[in-house]
Structure 1
Amino acid sequence: MPRETHEITRADIMPMAEYAKVRLERRKAMTELKKNRRVHIGPDATAYFESFDTMWHQVHEMLYIEQGGDAQIEDELSAYNPLIPKGRELTCTLMFEIDEPDRRARFLAGLGGVEETVSLSVGGQKIMAVPEDDIDRTTADGKASSIQFLHFSFTDAQADLMKQPGCEVVLAIDHPAYGHMAKLPDAVRAALAADLD
């Protein structure tokens, strides 16, 4: 996997002909890496915790699939670099995954502001998520986006707690229309704690 850092640069981008040669191997490695970075919260929400490696992979996949060449690189870096944790934070893509279109539309219509109700409790200390401010993900009429990008900022003490084996970490959504929580398995806690440098 690529070097650990907080930002992908043009120097990190493989030529697409080279990426094509290792794409299958990289995708398998990413599937394995993501196993301990995914948390289901209730029946319809999943948090995918991001890292340099997950975003590096996403940028390369977008470049490979869309074939936009050199002109596409800056757009992808601008889109995905903000989701790389910056040292004392975790970042996640929260997705509400409902296959049935009518149910999904009704569900999201009543979920406005959900991005303001997500928290991570680390050893009993609550850290509220801060939504990515690229665009407003709740419309004026109260409909939520099915995809939310969230940041959890840690104090040094909270980061130290997160790194303790056995520390209880709970990811929660406390919205009137969707109130669920999930205790993170210790393997997930350990994987995410490694992002806190």
Structure 2
Amino acid sequence: MNAAIKRRIERDDIMPMAEYEAGRKERRKDLVAVKRHRRVETGPVCTFYFENYETMWHQVQEMLYIEKGGEEQIEDELNAYNPLIPQGRELIATVMFEIDDPVRRKAFLSKLGGVEETAFIEIDGVDRIVGKPEEDVDRTTADGKASSVQFIHFPVTDAQAEAMKVPNTRVVIGFTHSHYSHMAVLTEEARAALAADLA
């Protein structure tokens, strides 16, 4: 698999379950290494997981392995996860707000409505990319409660892509939401990993 080139998981990319299961432990270990520089903690309870072909391929295979839906399940999984593979001039993140205590989590998310509209990536302190939530479903309810999981696209211009590819460029991700205005500076390894998505 060449994650830097492939932009869509096709039916033929899906590994037979017996073959996947035989090498599952090793593949999961390899995936941890891939995800290491694609995971960015932002503030006390939020993590951005930047997706690519490889992370989504593993997700599809895992869903098929866990749910054992066979051939009938494959199309549903491809339809669910292909939209989260960057298409060359975008970055895509699964954003998770992780709070173990259910009472605290409910109170926190009730104040976070619209947070998905305030995510951004800033390059060199001047060029800001505003995130766009995945359009499949509204992740803020009418009463202002946010979902704990968000899918956010960051459309990138050619100039922004070139700037992100320059070694040691300062890249910041964060939110401008009034109840969660946290930011994080990408490590050089994370910047390089995300820049590779912008072929």
After superposition, residues 135-150 of structure 1 pair within 5 angstroms as 135-150=137-152
Query: In the aligned structure 2, how far is the partner of 1:122 from the partner of 1:90?
Result: 13
Report the secondary structure of 1:179's partner residue.
Answer: coil
In the TM superposition, residue 80 of structure 1 has moved relative to its aligned partner by 0.3
Query: In the aligned structure 2, how far is the partner of 1:81 from the partner of 1:152?
Result: 16
- Unmatched tracts of structure 1, length 5 or more: none
Equivalent of residue 172 in structure 1, options 160, 171, 174: 174
- Unmatched tracts of structure 2, length 5 or more: none
Q: Write out per-residue CA displacement over residues 149-188 of structure 1, whole angstroms, 9 at most, x where no aligned residue.
A: 0001111010000000010100011111111000001110
Percent identical pairs in the alignment equals: 60
After superposition, residues 146-157 of structure 1 pair within 5 angstroms as 146-157=148-159
Corresponding residue number in structure 2 for 1:5: 6
2:134 matched to 1:132? yes
Give the superposed CA RMSD. Answer: 0.8
What is the TM-score normalised by the length of structure 2? Answer: 0.97
In the TM superposition, residue 122 of structure 1 has moved relative to its aligned partner by 1.3
After superposition, residues 70-109 of structure 1 pair within 5 angstroms as 70-109=71-110
Corresponding residue number in structure 1 for 2:188: 186
Which of 43-52 and 1-10 deviates more?
A: 1-10
In the TM superposition, residue 2 of structure 1 has moved relative to its aligned partner by 5.2
Query: In the aligned structure 1, how far is the partner of 2:175 from the partner of 2:96?
Result: 12
Report the secondary structure of 2:104's partner residue.
Answer: helix
Task: Work out the number of aligned pairs and report it.
Answer: 197
What is the TM-score normalised by the length of structure 1? Answer: 0.98
The amino acid across from 1:140 in the alignment is A
The amino acid across from 1:69 in the alignment is G
In the TM superposition, residue 97 of structure 1 has moved relative to its aligned partner by 0.4
